[in-house]
Structure 1
């Protein structure tokens, strides 16, 4: 009987300690972490290069103005979506004949090609 009382008391201490640790952990998350005077970010920021890494920062190539790009639209065709990746842009057009993707070079303004999205026959 004495052993059971000791075990119950020990488990009670463990429960109280566990609840205290949970409360402590939740309060630290609400505070937003540890505040330091160190100006360096805790995670790398895109575009920054650490001087100690030995890497030379490469400048990002800027696109020159490319003027006006004309894309011929079929009757009833409308622009649905536009996306850019690097020096190429993809324009999604929808019309009565279906959809098509037009890939355009932003370097020289030429149409690189198109992808027709048609239903199977």
Structure 2
């Protein structure tokens, strides 16, 4: 899986702690090594992670290596971006998108600065 600055990798084992227990809203990128659009999205998420570090945590989860969380949230396609706030999924988006569009779509779920 691609290493992206500012984006942590989570697994079935630590998902509940890292995502559901986080103080900030968390954007989870459900990804796979073979997914082209996932690779396109990586630098976008890296930039957003850097810019919005005080309002949003970004993590990625490999769907092939972590079937439990993938099934729990009904993820059927990659990349799926799911935002969790206070332990609950509050938004879901499928597919790569440019940074400006992603930031617009996230505006309503970001923590106040």
Scaled by the length of structure 1, what TM-score is found? 0.22
TM-score by length of 2: 0.22
Could you say which structure has the greater relative contact order, defined with CA pairs below 8 angstroms and 6 or more residues apart?
A: 2
Higher radius of gyration, 1 or 2? 1
More helix by share: 2
